[in-house]
Structure 1
Amino acid sequence: MSKLTERQKAFADYYIMSLNATQSAIKAGYSENCAREIGYENLTKPHIKSYVEDRLKALDQVRIMQMNEALIRLSEKARGESFEEIVTVTQLGEVVKAEKRISEKDQLKALELMGKYHKLFTDKVDANIQTQVIFEGESDLED
């Protein structure tokens, strides 16, 4: 893979934040008169395109909750180990923050979701379906 120039790297980094090629080209130091064309051209260059795709994938892995994290958070809620912050204002105008355990309703919902994940609540359905195919122009009366 070709190495990016400083300006190309700056363009790619700005593009990752804004997803606007023209503005990214201008911020990276390209001329405003040809920023649109350069922005488009930069996005078609394989080494810049590859750099942008790799960085976006890395960002997605940080931003998107992975399965294990979701299961850990659900488990904490189901066990009642999760707290929520309660904010109240006194008559004197003071803000008071307190923590309280999540409600039993929220714990039950977490338990239900964990049960679904582990397939504890699958209903066994016996479906006996009979079908009859009749082609156009045919009838049961013909032999």
Structure 2
Amino acid sequence: MVPRELPQDHFCPWREEAEELKERLTSLEAKMATLERHVFGRRAEKLPPVATQLRKDADSTAARAEAAKKKRQERATRKAEEAPAREIRHAVPPDERHCPACGSEDLKPLGQGRTSVVYEYVPARFEKQVHVQEVL
């Protein structure tokens, strides 16, 4: 039988290693408790600093993407306005220039007419076509 308590007066390398491991275990448990309090403990700021920084980075990335999108839209609008414009007039044919109710042929245009804008791709550029339809 091996006695449970060995005398302290003799040298045993296993005993020294066991004591060192106990000290190390105590130290690591203390560090772990500190870290758990830091991560899971109560405080005003609910997110750990790393998560907060990641969220700020994501917000700034989203803001930059939104700004780039807005800039692209403004540039596209500006290009559309600067495109060379060609006006195409669509007059009512003479055989249709009469009132369907009374048959009167003394009809005059009302205002500028209806306009619609079409952007057509001509090789190497876009062309803005403004179609004006006569309204009687």
Q: Give the TM-score normalised by the residue count of structure 2.
A: 0.25
Structure showing the higher strand proportion among its residues:
2
Structure showing the higher helix proportion among its residues:
1
Q: Give the TM-score normalised by the residue count of structure 1.
A: 0.24
